[in-house]
């Protein structure tokens, strides 16, 4: 039986690769995609998610529009990284389909309540606003959630938005606090591991060499997306942050990490949105997340390109 998941996303080129991988993977059932303001605002993130399900030939997967801003703080976006469209480099046509009726938060609540067996897996790869709203609106939904696999946070790596904070958590730290204190099993993909999941030039050429609409779109997106981080960090290629979430669901053994207590800073402006990861267990807090710190980068990329190659 395929594993039912919801992808909560703010597309974003790296979100796009994660969504395409998931839609190409028979091991997963993407029961819905929910969008959240982040990399770019609403309604653009929703339009981008629709563009991506159409690119994948999967217009059957419903896309629900979600939060337009964080719980308490003003929205911070990242056009300097992703471009004004959020998917710069892809040149995808406007979506032909419309978002599904209803709000993303209500869809998440209903999907968790309907979940059978082990429950549904939530895959937030943007700010955590929608998940927090669902958990606050209907706390009982935790019973239907198997696991939350989050792309966000940073520990030893440092931040990408402020010195200590990573973008997804920084944008809505109060939402992140709600998720990390929910009691639901969490697997965290922080920058410590995603900065090791780079697409280096010869790998980018392999994606371009697929010779498919998906390969061309992804190569174009990564050509655009990599310039910011290559210059900022002096690294060889673009970090595929969000695809780490999907890769973990498909091949967990390529990742290494450990159970830690994770708390989110929501008071100090200087450290707002920092994920305080107690890696050495010195704080006495009960571990509430498995925090990943390393990945087999070659295996990771082979998984990425294998799934992209399955799409036309």
Q: Under the rule (CB under 6 A), what is the footprint of ligand RIB?
A: 10, 12, 14-15, 38-39, 125-126, 151, 160, 166-168, 241-242
Q: Looking at beta carbons only, is 39 or 85 nearer to ligand RIB?
A: 39
Site string for Ca ion, 8-47 (x = CB under 5 A): --x-x--x--------------------------------
Which of 45, 65, 108, 125 is close enough to bind Ca ion by CB under 5 A? 125
127 binds Ca ion (CB under 5 A): no
The C-alpha atoms of residue 131 and residue 8 are separated, in whole angstroms, by: 8
Give me the least distance between CB of 93 and ligand RIB, in Å please. 22
Strands (E), the chain: 3-9, 28-35, 63-65, 120-124, 145-151, 186-189, 198-199, 238-239, 255-264, 275-278, 289-295
With H, G, I as helix, E, B as strand and everything else as coil, classify residue 160: coil
Q: Looking at beta carbons only, is 115 or 165 nearer to Ca ion?
A: 165
Report what 88 binds from Ca ion, ligand RIB, none; CB cut-off 5-8 Å by kind: none
Give me the least distance between CB of 221 and Ca ion, in Å please. 13
The C-alpha atoms of residue 137 and residue 238 are separated, in whole angstroms, by: 37
Q: Exactly one of 82, 103, 195, 241 is catalytic; name it.
A: 241
The C-alpha atoms of residue 212 and residue 168 are separated, in whole angstroms, by: 31
Stretch that binds Ca ion, among 56-64, 132-140, 179-187, 237-245 (CB under 5 A): 237-245
Give me the least distance between CB of 204 and ligand RIB, in Å please. 18
Report what 196 binds from Ca ion, ligand RIB, none; CB cut-off 5-8 Å by kind: none
HSE-CB of 270 using CA atoms within 13 angstroms: 0
241 is catalytic: yes
State phi, psi for 186 to the nearest 5 degrees: -120, 135
Report what 167 binds from Ca ion, ligand RIB, none; CB cut-off 5-8 Å by kind: ligand RIB
Report what 77 binds from ligand RIB, Ca ion, none; CB cut-off 5-8 Å by kind: none
Give me the least distance between CB of 241 and Ca ion, in Å please. 7
β-sheet bridge partners, residue 258: 291
- Residues with Cβ within 8 Å of 147's Cβ and at least 6 positions away in sequence, in order, are 119, 121, 122, 184, 185, 186, 187
> Strand 275-278 to strand 120-124: parallel, antiparallel, or no bridges (unpaired)?
unpaired
Q: Which residue carries 């998906």 as its tokens?
A: 214
The C-alpha atoms of residue 161 and residue 141 are separated, in whole angstroms, by: 31
Name the site residues for Ca ion (rule: CB under 5 A): 10, 12, 15, 125-126, 242
Known catalytic residues?
A: 241
């Amino acid at each position: 039986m395929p594993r039912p998941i919801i992808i909560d996303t703010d597309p974003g080129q790296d979100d796009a690769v994660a969504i395409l991988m998931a839609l190409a993977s028979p091991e997963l059932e993407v029961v819905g995609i929910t969008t959240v303001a982040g990399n770019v605002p609403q309604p653009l993130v929703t339009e981008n998610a629709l563009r991506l399900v159409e690119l994948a030939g999967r217009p059957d997967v419903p896309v629900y529009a979600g939060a337009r801003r964080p719980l308490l703080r003003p929205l911070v976006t990242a056009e300097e990284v992703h471009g004004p469209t959020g998917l710069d480099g892809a040149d995808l046509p406007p979506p032909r389909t419309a978002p599904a009726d209803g709000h993303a938060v209500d869809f998440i609540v209903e999907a968790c309540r309907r979940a059978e067996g082990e429950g549904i897996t939530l895959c937030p790869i943007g700010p955590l606003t929608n998940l927090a709203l669902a958990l606050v609106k209907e706390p009982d939904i935790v019973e239907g959630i198997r696991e939350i696999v989050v792309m966000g946070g940073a520990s030893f790596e440092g931040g990408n938005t402020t010195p200590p904070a990573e973008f997804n958590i920084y944008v809505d730290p109060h939402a992140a606090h709600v998720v990390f204190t929910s009691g639901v099993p969490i697997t965290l993909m922080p920058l410590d591991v995603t900065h090791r999941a780079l697409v280096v030039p010869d790998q980018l050429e392999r994606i371009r060499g697929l010779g498919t609409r998906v390969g061309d779109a992804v190569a174009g997106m990564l050509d655009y997306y990599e310039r910011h981080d290559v210059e900022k960090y002096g690294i060889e290629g673009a970090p595929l942050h969000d695809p780490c979430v999907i890769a973990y669901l498909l091949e967990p053994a390529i990742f290494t990490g450990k159970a830690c207590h994770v708390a989110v800073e929501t008071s100090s402006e200087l450290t707002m949105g920092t994920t305080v990861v107690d890696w050495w267990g010195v704080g006495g807090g009960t571990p509430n997340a498995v925090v990943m710190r390393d990945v087999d980068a070659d295996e990771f990329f082979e998984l990425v390109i294998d799934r992209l190659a399955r799409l036309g």
